Amino acid sequence: MEIAVLALQGAFIEHEKMLHRLGATSFEIRQASDWNRHKDGLIIPGGESTTMTKLLHELQLFHPIQDVINGGLPVFGTCAGLILLGKEENGKSTPLHLGTMDMEVCRNAYGRQLGSFYTEGKVEGLANQVPMTFIRAPYIKRLWGEAKCLSEVDGHIVAARQGNQLVTAFHPELNEDLSLHKLFLDIVSSYKS
Amino acid sequence: MAENRQELNRNLAQMLKGGVIMDVTTPEQARIAEEAGACAVMALERIPADIRAAGGVSRMSDPKMIKSIQEAVSIPVMAKCRIGHFAEAQILQAIEIDYIDESEVLSPADDIYHIDKNQFDVPFVCGAKNLGEALRRIAEGATMIRTKGEPGTGDVIQAVRHMRMMQSEMRRIVGMTENELYEEAKQLQAPYELVRFVHDNGKLPVVNFAAGGVATPADAALMMQLGAEGVFVGSGIFKSGNPKKRACAIVKAVTNYNDPKILAELSEDLGEAMVGINEQEIALLMAERGK
Average pLDDT in chain B? 94
Give the SS3 label for residue A35: helix
Contacts of A99 (CB under 8 A, 6+ apart): A66, A85, A86, A87, A93
Each residue of A25-78: pLDDT tens digit? 999 999 999 999 999 999 999 999 999 999 999 999 999 999 999 999 999 999
What residues of B are in contact with residue A133 (Cβ under 8 Å)? 7-8, 11
Distance CA A90, CA B42 (A): 26
Provide the total of helices (H) and of strands (E) in chain A, helices listed first. 5, 13
Contact B251 A55 (CB under 8 A): yes
Host H or E run for residue B246: helix B243-255
Quote the crossing angle between the two packed helices B260-267 and B243-255, to the nearest 10°. 180
CB A143 within 8 A of CB A159: no
Taking an 8 Å cut-off on Cβ atoms, the answer to whether B76 and A135 are in contact is no
| Candidates B7, B12, B255; nearest CB to A113 | B12
Q: CB B9 to CB A113 under 8 A?
A: yes
**What mean pLDDT do residues B207-224 have?**
96
What is the pLDDT at residue B234?
A: 86
Looking at residue B287, its pLDDT comes to 82
Contacts of B93 in chain A (CB under 8 A): 114
Residue B276: predicted pLDDT? 76
Task: Give per-residue burial for A62-92: e unless 16+ CB within 10 Å, then b.
Answer: beebbebbeeebbbbbbbbbbbbbbbbbeee
pLDDT at B1 over 60: no
Q: How many Å apart are CA B216 and CA B233, to the nearest integer? A: 9
pLDDT reported for residue B2: 63
User: For chain A, which residues score pLDDT lower than 50?
Assistant: none
- Comparing B234 with A160, the larger pLDDT belongs to A160
What is the arithmetic mean of pLDDT over B150-177? 94
Q: Do A7 and B18 touch (CB under 8 A)?
A: yes
User: What is the average per-residue pLDDT within B153-161?
Assistant: 92
Taking only residues 93 to 122 of chain B, the set having a beta carbon closer than 8 angstroms to any beta carbon of chain A reads 93, 96-99, 121-122
Is the pLDDT at B260 greater than 60? The verdict is yes
Q: Kindly report which listed range (A139-148, B82-91, B125-134, B150-159) carries the lowest average pLDDT score.
A: B150-159
Above 80 in pLDDT, residue B277?
no
State the Cα torsion B195-B199-B202-B205 to the nearest 10°.
-40
What ipTM goes with this model? 0.96
Task: Confirm whether B67 is a catalytic residue.
Answer: no
pLDDT for the residue B52: 84
- Chain B's closest residue to A46, CA to CA, is B15
Residue B3 pLDDT > 80: no
Question: Of B80, B117, B239, B252, which is the active-site residue?
Answer: B80
Percentage of the residues of chain B whose pLDDT score is greater than 70: 99
Mean pLDDT over residues B63-76, rounded? 98
State the catalytic residues of A: 79, 171, 173
What is the pTM (predicted TM-score) of this model? 0.96
Give the one of A30, A117, A135 whose C-beta lies nearest to B12's C-beta: A135
Q: Is B75 on the interface with A (CB under 8 A)?
A: yes
Question: How many CB atoms sit inside 10 A of residue A45's CB?
Answer: 29
